[in-house]
Structure formats: structure tokens, C-alpha cells
Structure 1
């Protein structure tokens, strides 16, 4: 494994966030991934905000078998649940660029599985995304308008 790059080598995407919540979460995720980035192993970090103001971090863990990989958002939700029962209210994830890629770190939306997980554990929640080229906070339900609703936990 190669060492993580110097965090100043790649621009922090939080500087483009007008919303203070988005800026806080994107900065936390960026700081984390800039610190521990390893190509093909750890490329994304996420930050989840709880209703008490706590920020919980998660790291993408890649694996040789893709199904065994863990998303940064799910790791952050797990960290939050270990630390607090407070409702989860917002999330942001940042992808660090590979050495061969042009451009800087960028805000990335949660994958479909993480959208389901976040709605299960943090609805209604908001998520930082890039909307029309600008960082924005949007309701999580807008990213997954027809969420699966089963009978496992009863009415939600």
C-alpha cells in the first residue's frame, strides 16, 4: 500500500459549499479521506450529522470481491449508532481522486444501497450532492422517491 498523499495536494470541495451544514460535513469527510486515502482501497469517506450536533465518520473499504466492500456511508451510520441514539439528520461523502485522475476531490451521492440504509436509519435526512454543478443539500427521499417499505419493522 502506498502512503496517503499530503492533504494540501488536493483541494477541499467544502470551500464551494454555501450551506454551513454541508460545508461542515464535506470538510470532515474530505479531511478524513485525505488523511487515509489509499488507491483502490480507501477512496471515499463520509460524515453523518446527528440531531445533537455530533459528526460521525465512515470510510469506504474496498475488497477483492466487490460484494464484500463496505461503503463509507454505511460505515458512518454504524459509527453513529455506536455513539448515539440521536436521529441522523444529514450526510455527505467525498471521493478522493486517484493519482491518474485529473480534477480534485468531489462530493458524491450515496449509492442505491446506502440510500435505502440511510432512509432506514436517518429519514427524512438530507444529503450533500452536486446539483447543476453546485454543492447542495437535498432531502434524502428525493434521491430515492420510491423506497422499499417492508413489514420487518412495522409502520415507520
Structure 2
């Protein structure tokens, strides 16, 4: 069986922050892809320049699956209390698909979770012509806001 070359979606991206986020997620999923187990990796950038990675963990019971963005958020919170500023997720192609990895926006559940922990977070999305950073709050305009904790968390 011949290994195929999968195109890195960060190639040619003019924005260095976007390129670094996407490249980190692509590198992670390229080395850990397993069909029906790990198809997406995410990278979260903190305000101090730290990069935190997460891997999608599929499960036999779909509800038990963990998204890559949730894993990256957890890794970031274990490593630092710094503000989280950006997130990117990359989906690795199945063998039956064109050999191009692609940036995917966070799912609805991850949008809620990420905004709970990083209200100013921006996400890498494809705007039809290029990869750009956009406020995650714009992708979830009617976010649920409860009374469990203050809208802006502070570290003591």
C-alpha cells in the first residue's frame, strides 16, 4: 500500500497566526489520524503565544465522543491561565476522499463551550477565498447565557 500525500490547508495562507494555528492542527491530525477514531485535531492559541492541541476522540456511543476543540481547550486550561485568543480545527480526509485536509469550524456544542471559557475567542474559518480569523461569537449569535457563573471568568 502506498502512502498518499495529503495537502496541508495552511500552505499559502498569508496571515502568520492563522497559518501557525492551522499548521499545528494539521501536523497533529496527520500523525494521529485513524479512520472512525481520530479525524480532527484542533489548536488553541493563548495570549502568551502558547499553542495547545486537542484530538477528536470518537466513540461507539456518539454522545461519548469528544471533539478536538474540547480537548485543546482542556489542554490549554491545564497549561496556562492566559487568555485564549484563537482556535483552528483541521479534518483529515478519509482514504476515499480527495487528499486535501480542510479547516472546519467548531460544531455548535464546541462554540458554546469555547465561548463559556473564552468569550473573545476567534476561530479560523474559510471565507470562500481564504482562511481568516473571525469572532467565534459571530458564528453563534444567540449564545445561551445562564447564571451558573459570571459571563467573564477571572483567575484569582
For the pair 1:60 / 2:56, whether they are aligned, the reply is yes
Q: Structure 1: where are the runs of 5+ without partners?
A: none
Secondary structure at the aligned position of 1:77 is classed as: helix
Distance between the aligned counterparts of 1:28 and 1:71, measured in 2? 16
Match of residue 98 from structure 1: 94
Q: Structure 2: where are the runs of 5+ without partners?
A: none
Q: How many residues align?
A: 151
Would you say the 8 A contact 2:57–2:67 is kept in 1? yes
Match of residue 17 from structure 1: 13
TM-score, normalisation: structure 2: 0.93
Displacement after TM superposition at 1:103 (Å): 4.2
List, as ranges, runs of 4+ consecutive aligned residues in structure 1 with deviation greater than 2 Å: none
Distance between the aligned counterparts of 1:48 and 1:21, measured in 2? 11
Would you say the 8 A contact 1:16–1:135 is kept in 2? no
Match of residue 82 from structure 2: 86
TM-score, normalisation: structure 1: 0.93
Distance between the aligned counterparts of 1:88 and 1:61, measured in 2? 22
